[in-house]
Each structure stands twice: as structure tokens, then as C-alpha cells.
A and B are shown apart, each in its own frame.
Chain A
């Protein structure tokens, strides 16, 4: 089996990979469906079971969504791939800023963020100008934005407003743009297979998040207390370690599709998982600050947000860390 896969051309290998992943997701859906058929005599227990299944369904939907987007990205070709990720950034930033109050004075900065900075960053990815791509947002944009805000002549909550905007740009544009940037890393003897690297990162981070979620909920049922209850009701250190272990082992197992040897893949996955899961926790803290449990916010729809950020925040944190670790270690 492994030999057969190895002898396929890169395109066929990537195709086979997607077939396998979609198959696994279908099996997951089937398991949830079968479990939902179970009947309970005690109605309270039944309700709990349903609530748990709802959460698992949500998790499965997230995974479907992510894999589907990456499948599209792989099909679509270079330019459309960038457009797809750019749109992802756009919608994520839209959601982020909806729930962070801005004032009239921020309007020009917001226009800059959405219509200048975002396209510029993806253009830099597309043209592979890595030197500028790395510093464009942290150096130039972070100096230019407060200037635009200051010129609007409104000192109220100035630091707070700018911090929020810069955070939104950092997570939604800078972080996200490092996912398609992975496609442009030039490994020796790894031509045309960079899509695997994106898939590798997504699978590893998602495995980590799902495992952490499942183990933490199991532990909570057994009476474990969350570690930081004011920020996350479901963050437990033991669950986190389980997620890290699962993600890293998944990474080591997938080493065959990457340019890494299993040991390297394990360490890089560990780094990506740490960044992703901790980033998710940070975004939870941000949400708590705004007084909302999920980005959809305020009883599901006053903002009309779809909860996009909930799906991609871990990836947004993991991608840059993974990207620079790889670049530094392999000296690309």
C-alpha cells in the first residue's frame, strides 16, 4: 500500500490524500449519526448526550469546512489560491472588527487595513518577496496605522483602539497569509508537493485541537476543574498535553508527505500545536473581554457573523510560527 502510494506522481498523491481525508470525515459523520440513534430512559441523560453530540457535530463541521477549503485551494491554482485565502482574511477581519468597538476616527485606518494592507500582503506572497512580506505588517503598517488614526484628531481610547486594530491585522491578515506562503517555500527534491505542507499543518493543528477538546470534555465529566475558568471553561492542562501529543504524533506519522524526517516532523508539529492551541486560548481571552462566548456573538446573530474566526484562529497562530521555524531550520 505504502509503496503504491509512493510510486504515484505528486498530483496523484495529493489527490489520494484528499480522498483518504474526506473518507475519514465521512466515517466520523457516520459515527456521530449512529450515536445519535441511541435512546435514553433518563431524559436528563438524553439531553446531555444530545448536547455532547451537538458539540461533536460542530467540530466535525469545522473540519469539513477546513478540508473543503484546502481542497478548493489545491484545485484552483496559484492566483485563485491566494484570492481564497485573502477572502478568508477579509471575512475573519470583518468579524473581528465587528465585535471590537471602533470610533469614527478609525475609519481611514480600517479602509487601509481592508483595501490596501490586505491585498498588499497577499500580493507579496504571490510574488514571493519574502524579505518584504516578513516585515511589511510588523514594521511599516504598525507605524503607518497609528499615524492615520492620530490624523483623525480623536484621542479617546487611542491606545486601545489601535491595539485592537493591530491585533486584528496581526491575526487575520499576517497569520493567515503564512498558510499560502508555505506553498512557496523551495525545498530541494520536493517540487510540486508543497500543497502537502499546507495539508500537513492543517491536519496536525486540527488533530491537536480536536483531541484536546475531546479529552478535556471527558476530563470535565470526571469532575476536573478548568485551569483558567475566567477565560475558558474547557481548558485543562492534561487535555492540552493530550492534544499536543496527538498532534505531534500525527505529524511524525505524516512525515512521509513532507520534506522532513519523522523526528523533524515531530518537533515542528509540536511547535505548531503549541502555537495553535495557545493562540486559540488567547482568542478566547479576547472574546471574554468583549463578553461573548463565540465570535458569532450576542445570541447568534445581531452581527450576522458566521463564527469564521472560531474555525481558523488556531491556524492563524500556528502558521507563522511553523513557517519561520521551517525557514530557519532548513535555511530556505
Chain B
């Protein structure tokens, strides 16, 4: 009981600390370009270039939305050490997905549970971090979630500059101003297949780079 209270308190403190840190380092500017921040059930999907992306987009959301918007992250990486596991589950309220598919297991099941409970999601549909200027091809996860929950708004987002804060292989972050641009909500068109939707979604994310 006591331990529980201490850990919860620690999670709140660490949350504020990270929020302050990310604001100090990046300014963490949110630009609601295509839609206002609203408490609708949404799937935010964004380009993925750095581990800090998760924190960036979390920090860019207003406090009220942050509580029930859950980032989706890879189980193998984020549960490797006890600290990482605690950080992602207690502070960010992450939903884990396994990247290595076991037989007879639906990798999207935890996401479906969360959506059914009314939470919003933050999704990185590339599946892994990219190091090119443009995001890689999107995986099918976004399409599958969108077809299962057709009423949910799909909001594209472009995270700008974060890869410069902490490039691959570095441990100390560097202060560079970053921003998250949220675009206009989109939907799966009637009869649209996975490949063409994924392309359209990817184009929507890339288009936000220059607005």
C-alpha cells in the first residue's frame, strides 16, 4: 500500500520533471493546424525518428487530453530494464505491442482493448525509427485499427527537428527548438484498401512538414 503511494507520487513527479525538461530543451510547441485540441476519441499518428518522439507528442498535448491519450510503444525495447518499464507504464501510460509476432496472438489486441475503453492512441505507423528525411512506408496497424473503429478521428502529426535533439547513439540531449504539427482529421474511404490508405496517411503526415 505504502509502496504503491510512493510509486504513484514518483510517477507524477517524474512526469512533471520530463515535461519541464522537454520544454526547456525543445520549447515543445504544439501547432494545431488542421484541428483544435478536443476531447474526442482520436488516433494521432506521426513520423518516428527518435525515442524522444513519444515524449514530444505527449508533452505537446494539453494536460486534459494527456490523461486518456496513450502512446503505443514496442514491448521489446521499452520493457528491457525495470526502470524503462516503470517509466513507460507509470508515467506515459503506454500500451505495449510486440514486434515479433507469436502464433495465435493478435498483436493489436491491447490497442483494441484501450480503444474500447474510450482512450485515444498515439501511433507511430512506421513501426520503427527511420533515419531518412521522409518517413518509411506505413505498416498495416493504423489501417486495421481505423477499420475496426470507423468513428474515430485519425489525426496526422509531423514532429519536427526531434532527431537533432538526440541522434541515434547519443545519450546527452541538446537544446533545439522542436514542434508538433497536427493536421486535419482523416478517415478510411469506403472500399479503400490497406496499401492505398497507408500511402495517403503517409502523404498526409509528410504534407504537414511544410505548413
Contact = CB atoms under 8 A, between A and B. Distances in A.
| Majority DSSP secondary structure for residues of B touching A | loop
B168 to A, nearest CB: 8
B178 A111 contact: no
Contacts of B175: 90, 93-94, 97, 114
A296 to B, nearest CB: 10
Interface stretch (B26-34, B63-71, B82-90): B26-34
B60 to A, nearest CB: 10
A304 B179 contact: yes
Nearest to B163: A104
Contact of A115 (B160, B172, B176): B172
Nearest to B33: A301
A304 B172 contact: no
Contact of B29 (A93, A97, A299, A304): A304
B172 A104 contact: no
Interface string B20-46: 000000111101000000000000000
A313 interface: no
A98 interface: yes
B177 interface: yes
B79 interface: no
A302 interface: yes
Contact of B26 (A90, A97, A302, A304): A304
Interface string B172-187: 1011111101000000
A303 B170 contact: no
- The number of chain A residues touching the other chain, given as a range, is 20 to 34
Contact of A97 (B27, B167, B176, B211): B176
Given A102-B164, A104-B167, A303 B174 contact: no
Interface in A89-110: 90, 93-95, 97-98, 102, 104, 107-108, 110
Nearest to A104: B167
A98 B174 contact: no
Given A98-B161, A111-B172, A305 B177 contact: yes
Contacts of A305: 27, 177
A24 to B, nearest CB: 32
A151 to B, nearest CB: 14
A303 B177 contact: yes
B161 A110 contact: no
A127 to B, nearest CB: 25
A107 B29 contact: no
Nearest to B173: A111
24 contacts: A90-B175, A97-B175, A97-B176, A98-B161, A98-B177, A102-B164, A107-B167, A107-B170, A110-B174, A111-B172, A111-B174, A114-B174, A301-B179, A302-B31, A302-B160, A302-B181, A303-B29, A303-B177, A304-B27, A304-B29, A304-B177, A304-B178, A305-B177, A306-B27
Interface of B: 26-29, 31, 160-161, 164, 167-168, 170, 172, 174-179, 181, 211
Pairs of residues from A and B, 4 with the lowest C-beta to C-beta distance, nearest first: A304-B29, A304-B27, A98-B177, A110-B174
